[in-house]
Amino acid sequence: MTRAQGPVRVIGGKVLDSTVLVAMAGRRLEALLVLDYAERTASTLLVPAPAVVDAYLELDSDEAAILAELLDSGVIVVDPLTADNAPAVAGRIPAPLLRAHEGRGLLALEVGHAALLATARGWPVVTCSTARWVGAEGVQVELINDK
């Protein structure tokens, strides 16, 4: 007997993009509620490595220190970008980002990686900006605050 292809549902998780990391480091309530929910329900918050880099580029030194603490909390897990997953990440970059950035750039890497993680697990991506997710096929997006 064979199983149908599709996402493997894993209990208890969400994928975060850099906009949510920036909001958490900036102590924005709606982002901190995502963290609180994960802690109370023992859920995993998975973050693609390019999102961490992108978030640090947006933060001042105090916010960067907060983000470092959050990343060390055990609730947030950073998924590395490796030679093994790079082809699949590249394949998940939405067409609008490919056209806008010629398939290059940190945002394209972040979205492609997050899309891969989310669709592989059947988890939603939590974001503060829906614009970056236009054209991301098969990705469920949870908006917490559009900017």
What domains does the chain contain, in order, with CATH numbers?
13-143 (3.40.50.1010)
Report the pLDDT value the prediction gives residue 133, as an integer from 0 to 100.
Answer: 94
Instruction: Provide the pLDDT for residue 104.
Output: 61
* Those residues with Cβ within 8 angstroms of residue 43's Cβ, 6 or more apart along the chain or in another chain: 12, 13, 14, 37
Tell me what pLDDT residue 95 has: 87
The one-digit pLDDT tens for each residue of the chain (147 residues) are 444 455 545 568 999 999 999 999 999 999 999 999 999 999 999 999 999 999 999 999 999 999 999 999 889 999 999 999 999 999 999 988 877 766 568 899 999 999 999 999 999 999 999 999 999 999 999 999 865
As given in the structure block, the two tokens for residue 91 are 């394949």
The structure's pTM equals 0.87
Question: CA torsion angle for 41, 70, 117, 140 (degrees, to 10)?
Answer: 60
